[in-house]
Structure 1
Amino acid sequence: MTDDRYTVISADCHAGADLLDYRPYLEATHHEDFDAWAASYVNPHADLLADTADRNWNSARRLAEMEADGIVAEVVFPNTIPPFFPSASLMAPAPTRTEAEQRWAGLRAHNRWLADFCAEAPGRRAGVAQILLNDVDEAVREVRRTKEAGLTGGIMLPGTPPGSGLPELHSDYYDPLWAVCAELEVPVNHHGGSASPPLGDAPAARAVFMVETTWFSHRALWHLIFGGVFRRHPGLRLVLTEQGSGWIPGVLDMLDYYHGRLAAASRAATAEAKFGVGLADAMGDSPSGVWRDHCFVGASFMRPHEVPLRHRVGLDKIMWGSDYPHDEGTHPHSREALRLAYADVPADETAAMLGTNAARVYGFDLTRLAPLAARVGPRVTDIAEPLEKIPPNATSPAFAPGGVVRVW
């Protein structure tokens, strides 16, 4: 935050190369297979076929549009299709050894491309590396390699949905991965939509996906907490992104409740004692205590009804995100979205949620960003002005009508 403007860091943006542009980033041994695969691949995602798709890889366009939106830096999650993947999904390993090797090669290619993409805007992009969970040793190597390559956004943790065939996230199978992330101070990011099982394409399936997707994404939180991961790896940080934030206080209350029941049961001759054996010792702190010490939320386009819960979530835990370049993102109306959410919030609290927290988690240099923020950042006085009319072409859920706001 400068004297009169906010330093806005979006903790949730997405990017990736155009499909054929990944080829130079692949190991040469995969070029022939890539050429054959790419020649017949049909992209299933309409937004990656539209004339705006280049916002994923056109660095100059991206910087200009984000500056126009008041944003000076971003955490960059993946978006486009990595080589050898049927879609952008990272929810399950490939079904054969050959496909698994190819998909690992595809992710390494994306991570190499992303390092170059971030280098085009020094200090302004924290790239999130992709991994798979089917080979923990390979995941550890990729964490080390991407850290050395300059990616500061951490890793994107895939889910382990039913049917994946992978050990659950609470398993100590993943301890080498948690250990290297803690050692290198690499944030572990779990993005919304990355843990849902396949449901099909019927209208009912799409509705069920909308109902369940955030729940499946939330599962990583209690798996890692009850699995004792944070006690074994006290330097580990977990970020839950684009899953909302209003659910967190209630879920922490629920987890504390079960923790209390099971920890007490382990000291008493109750029917629940068999479930609570060893839990308290394995976890250490309560779930709410673990949240306080290790966890953060990428609260993309934070909605007005979530803002009053900010102190229960933890003011130092919340990081706003624009979700650029997705249709559900706030671009090109991020200033209006901020006014809608934060008009009545003290400026120091707004500054924390818009930039200070993300800078701390992802290593952005606020001093380095200050001159740009002084030029393009939203004015404190402007954000304090309540939004009276929603822009007519706004597509983000951040602008869902409600309260006294009038919709054109």
Structure 2
Amino acid sequence: MGAEDGTGAEERYTVISADCHAGADLLDYKPYLERRYHDDFDAWAAGYVNPYEDLLADTADRNWNSARRLAELEADGIVAEVLFPNTIPPFFPSASLMAPAPTAAEFERRWAGLRAHNRWLADFCAAAPGRRAGVFQILLNDVDAAVEEIHRSTDAGLKGGLLLPGTPPGSGLPELYSRAYDPIWAACAELGVPVNHHAGSASPPLGDEPAARAVFMVETTWFSHRALWHLVFGGAFRRHPGLRLVLTEQGSGWIPGVLDMLDYYHGRLVAAAGRASTAESKFGAGLAAAMGDRPSEVWRENCFVGASFMRPHEVPLRDRIGLDKIMWGSDYPHDEGTHPYTREGLRFAYAGLPREEVAAMTGGNAARVYGFDLAYLDEIAAKTGPTVAEIAEPLDTPPADATSPVFARGGSVRVW
């Protein structure tokens, strides 16, 4: 929480968004590509048709216009951000990192495109020192190349850590519980950078039927949740105790129930493994030795949640989730984000809570996980952050033109 600025100003919160998005305008990626790909990029870009309305609108430059971002976020009460990708990287048909490359040559080009995005992002973060933690991208098809990029991106100053792609059905990749990915977990643990798994990065393609979008909405967070039990049951945290996993924009209310379920299966299978005569014993064979602690204990030691626009009905679960685990996010510049009503969103969710709890969820936890300098950010927040008194005032009527689901009817019932 921000301190007073010495002029008698009201105490303010230092708000860090743990979920924002950025990327270069399409042609601006070219200078960040290795020269040998420039001709291919020119040909690809000339024929590319962007399918995303938000990247064609006059607000698209929020993704890459540094001055505009800083001004709009400060006006919204936010002083720092964790940056996930948003625009189309070179040679990809869409923003999906799981779009399968049909040939080895196409995979090589897409890998070059992701590395170009990472280079661009390092420069974009450097344009606002101390206020942006960039999340770099990899592909899982080549683990050695991924490890090399983890080291290069971290050395380039990207403090946001790794964006972990999913392995949805049909990807042809080993599942995330596979030991094939151990070099990736080892590199992230060694360098102290988190592994981030963002909603939408693990869903399989669903086709173009009318129901596809509704099914996607129902299933996409579940496919993203899978990373948790894959890494837990796969023993990644036991082999790499310093590994940290952040699950972002997947909600947070599901966490206590899922941890209870995982603990149940852990106990059941470990117990069954000791009864060789039972049909269930084969399911628990080797599990205890591989994964170690109960899933809920692993969560307490190693995991965090990027709780984008946390909803009021999730707030009463904060102690069961872990107050030191929750990192609020605005999802800027997406229209489902809280901009320009972040203050209202925070009031709607957090009014009435102890201010030290609000301070942890809106900034303190993110500063610890992503390495932000709170003392530096407090100075900025002393002028632009929402006041403690402001957030303490309940919001009974959401803004009429707000588009964030935090205000959605039926999804944000106040129960505390």
TM-score, normalising length: structure 2: 0.96
Matching residue's letter, 2:346:
L
Partner of 2:375: 367
Q: Distance in 2 between matches of 1:164 and 1:95?
A: 12
Q: Is the 8 A contact 2:93 2:99 kept in 1?
A: no
Candidates 366, 373, 386, aligned match of 1:358: 366
Q: Is residue 277 of structure 1 aligned with residue 301 of structure 2?
A: no
SS of structure 2 residue aligned to 1:72 = strand
Aligned-partner Cα distance in 1 for 2:238–2:100: 28
160, 163, 169: which is aligned to 1:156? Answer: 163
Query: Which residue of the other structure, out of 93, 96, 107, is the alignment partner of 1:100?
Result: 107
SS of the residue corresponding to residue 218 of structure 1 reads: helix
Residue of structure 2 aligned with 1:15, choices 16, 19, 22? 22
Q: Is the 8 A contact 1:22 1:110 kept in 2?
A: yes
Output the CA distance in 2 between the equivalents of 1:335 and 1:99.
45
- Alignment pair present for 1:85 and 2:92: yes
Alignment partner of 2:199 out of 192, 195, 202: 192
Equivalent residue for 2:38?
A: 31
CA deviations 1:37-62 (Å, max 9, x no partner) are 00000001110000100000000000
Confirm or deny that 1:317 pairs with 2:333: no
Kept in 1, the 8 Å contact 2:313–2:413? The answer is no
Kept after mapping to 2: 8 A contact 1:92/1:159 = no
- In the alignment, the residues of structure 2 paired with residue 71 and residue 15 of structure 1 have an alpha-carbon distance, to the nearest angstrom, of 16
Question: Tell me, which stretches of 5 or more residues in structure 2 are unaligned?
Answer: 4-10
Give the letter aligned to residue 24 of structure 1. Answer: P
Q: Secondary structure at the match of 1:280?
A: helix
Whole-Å separation in 2 of the counterparts to 1:390 and 1:183: 45
**Pairing 1:133-212 to 2, within 5 Å after superposition:** 133-212=140-219
- Compared CA separation, residues 352 and 102, structure 1 to 2 (3 A): same
Alpha-carbon separation, structure 2, partners of 1:167 and 1:92 = 16
Q: After superposition, where does 1:43-58 map in structure 2 within 5 Å?
A: 43-58=50-65
3-state SS of paired residue (1:195): coil
Q: Deviations over 1:217-271 (max 9, x none)?
A: 0000000000000001111000000000000000000000000100000112322
Deviations 1:100-134 (A, max 9, x none): 10001000000000000000000000000010000
Give the drift of 1:370.
Answer: 1.0
Distance (whole Å) between structure 2 residues aligned to residue 281 and residue 56 of structure 1? 46
Q: Could you tell me which residue of structure 2 aligns to residue 303 of structure 1?
A: 311
Residue of structure 2 in register with 1:65 after alignment: 72
| Cα shift at 1:404 | 7.9
Equivalent position amino acid for 1:249 in 2:
P
Q: Secondary structure at the match of 1:281?
A: helix
Could you tell me how far apart the structure 2 residues matched to 1:245 and 1:111 are?
A: 28
- 1:400 corresponds to: 408
Q: Does 1:74 align with 2:81?
A: yes
The amino acid across from 1:259 in the alignment is H
Q: Distance in 2 between matches of 1:222 and 1:277?
A: 17
**Residues 101-120 of structure 1: matches in 2 within 5 Å?**
101-120=108-127
What amino acid maps onto 1:80 in structure 2? T
Aligned counterparts of 2:100 and 2:259: Cα–Cα separation in 1? 30
Distance 2:56 2:128 in 1: 25
Determine the structure 2 residue equivalent to 1:289: 297
Q: Distance in 2 between matches of 1:108 and 1:404?
A: 43
1:2 match: 2
Match of 1:203, SS state, is coil
How far residue 92 of structure 1 moved from its aligned partner, in angstroms, is 4.8
**Structure 1 pair 102–41 and aligned structure 2 pair: CA distance change class (3 A):** same
> Could you tell me whether the CA contact under 8 Å between 2:232 and 2:291 is conserved in 1?
yes
When residues 404 and 357 of structure 1 are mapped into structure 2, their CA distance, relative to the original with a 3 A threshold, is: closer
**Deviation >2 Å, runs of 4+:** 401-405
1:337 aligns to 2:345 (yes or no): yes
- How far the C-alpha of 1:361 sits from its partner, in A, is 0.3
1:203 shift after superposition? 1.9
- Residue 234 of structure 1 is matched in structure 2 by 241
The 8 Å contact of residues 34 and 84 in structure 1, kept in 2 or not, is answered as yes
Report the Cα distance in structure 2 between the residues aligned to 1:275 and 1:339, rounded to whole angstroms. 47
**1: CA distance between counterparts of 2:279 and 2:363?**
48
TM (norm. structure 1) is: 0.98
Structure 1 residue 400: Cα displacement: 1.1
Q: What SS does the aligned partner of 2:313 have? A: coil
AA paired with 1:180? A
Give the total of aligned pairs: 405
What is the CA-CA distance between 1:201 and the residue it aligns to? 2.4
| Counterpart in the other structure of 2:7 | none
